[in-house]
Amino acid sequence: MIEKLLLKLRARDSLSPVEETALREGIAEVRDYPADKTFVREGELLNFSTLLIEGLVCRYKDLSGGERQIAAIHVPGDFVDLHSFSLKRLDHSIMTLSPCKVGIVPHDRLTKITETLPHLTRLLWFSTNVDAALHREWELSLGRRDALSRTAHLFCELQARLEVVGMAEPDGYDLPLTQTELAECLGLTNVHVNRTLKVLRERGLVDFRGHRVTIQDREALEQVAEFNRAFLYLDRRVF
């Protein structure tokens, strides 16, 4: 259940058997959700956090006119709303992008971890801080990268994150995202995304079709994106 989470955490630091057990025993229940299900609603009171075991989910915010901004995508092994442990209610909603399997981790079990396992606490705190780093990189994309660079950057980000949990090949990965959802990540219109994907494909950088991302030229793609994986904090550190 927590193998992909362990892969992610161990890319950064060592975990003791006691810490691993605490994580395993954190999961009270496993749930299956269909695609396009909003399973956490903005503002509702939460007493558990959700670990993504299989599938893709996103966090999103809507304006009153229905315009949606996706604020982050989560891949298996991500502790999707670990931040709800301290926030209690979220400022955004969380929706599955594909059929998903999730682990429900009651907040009282997380409280117990903070009372007894300070190193693991710091590691979990860290992982919410990495989520914030992803938000900042998206702010840079939305505010300053042009449509081509912005779209290229998202494909690079997902390649790197999926590689850590063994879900990407060197030449690409599955991405069950519609063009509309992609537009909602990128702050663009559907038409603009469609045109941008065409340019990326014709320039031999990346091809996104049929829910599959095929990286045609990773180096050139990363250059167009100004992609620097430092913001993913994948290097080893001591907590």
Bridge partners, residue 69, by sequence: 61
Piece of the chain touching a second copy by CB under 8 A; list 95-103, 125-133, 165-173, 200-208: 125-133
Bridge partners, residue 86, by sequence: none
Under the criterion CB under 8 A, does residue 34 sit at the interface with a second copy?
no
What string of DSSP letters covers the chain?
--HHHHHHHHTTS---HHHHHHHHTT--EEEEE-TT-EEE-TT-B-SEEEEEEES-EEEEEE-TTS-EEEEEEE-TT-BTTTTHHHHSB-SSEEEESS-EEEEEEEHHHHHHHHHH-HHHHHHHHHHHHHHHHHHHHHHHHHHHS-HHHHHHHHHHHHHHHHHHTT--BTTEEE----HHHHHHHHT--HHHHHHHHHHHHHTTSEEEETTEEEES-HHHHHHHHT--GGGG--S----
Under the criterion CB under 8 A, does residue 233 sit at the interface with a second copy?
yes
Piece of the chain touching a second copy by CB under 8 A; list 27-35, 49-57, 113-121, 203-211: 113-121
> Which of 4, 59, 74, 161 lies at the binding interface for a second copy (CB under 8 A)?
59
Minimum CB separation from a second copy for residue 55, in Å?
A: 22
> Which of 20, 61, 203, 214 lies at the binding interface for a second copy (CB under 8 A)?
61
> Which of 11, 20, 46, 83 lies at the binding interface for a second copy (CB under 8 A)?
83
Angle between helices 118-144 and 147-164 (to 10 degrees): 160
Under the criterion CB under 8 A, does residue 219 sit at the interface with a second copy?
no
Minimum CB separation from a second copy for residue 34, in Å?
A: 25
| # residues near a second copy by CB under 8 A | 51
> Which of 94, 186, 205, 221 lies at the binding interface for a second copy (CB under 8 A)?
186
Under the criterion CB under 8 A, does residue 226 sit at the interface with a second copy?
yes
Minimum CB separation from a second copy for residue 33, in Å?
A: 22
Applying CB under 8 A, the residues found at the interface with a second copy are 43, 59, 61, 63-64, 67-69, 71-72, 83, 85-89, 91-92, 111, 114-115, 118, 121-123, 125-126, 128-133, 135-140, 142-145, 186-187, 226, 230-231, 233, 237, 239
